[in-house]
Amino acid sequence: MKMICTKCKQEAKKVVLDSYEHERGIKLKDVEAYECPKCHEFIFTEKQMEEIEKRTEAIKVHNFSFERKITVSGRSLVINIPEDITRHMKLVKGMRARLTPIDDKELLIEIK
């Protein structure tokens, strides 16, 4: 399918975005889109938008949050994980987590 950027009138190239935030706080991985080679705007087909909205809604079903104080344990900073999240995600002692800074205010935690 040929997609044309409405700003630049350039043909957009099909890409797969590593991460895309359709709604604030809900990041999707591996999102198909079209990118303008001139202005770098992303363009989505109707089918792509339907898929993005479907995936976003699936995440929102399980989306809840807690605010916690950062504390200290030895020489490390610690954030306690609330029991509700532990139960919901079936977390147990010994599981591994990857911590990835998104920017200076956001931290992504992936359970391995």
pLDDT value, residue 60: 81
Q: What is the DSSP string of 10-24?
A: PBPEEEEEEEEEEET
- pTM to 2 decimals? 0.56
CA dist 13 and 1 (Å) reads 10
Report, as an integer, the average pLDDT of 75-79: 95
Q: Which residues of 62-86 are buried (b: 16+ CB within 10 A; e: fewer)?
A: eeeeeeeeeeeeeeeeeeeeeeeee
Buried b (16+ CB within 10 A) or exposed e, 36-50: beeeeeebbeeebee
Q: Say if residue 61's pLDDT is above 80.
A: no
Q: What is the pLDDT of residues 1-13, one digit of tens each?
A: 789 999 999 999 9
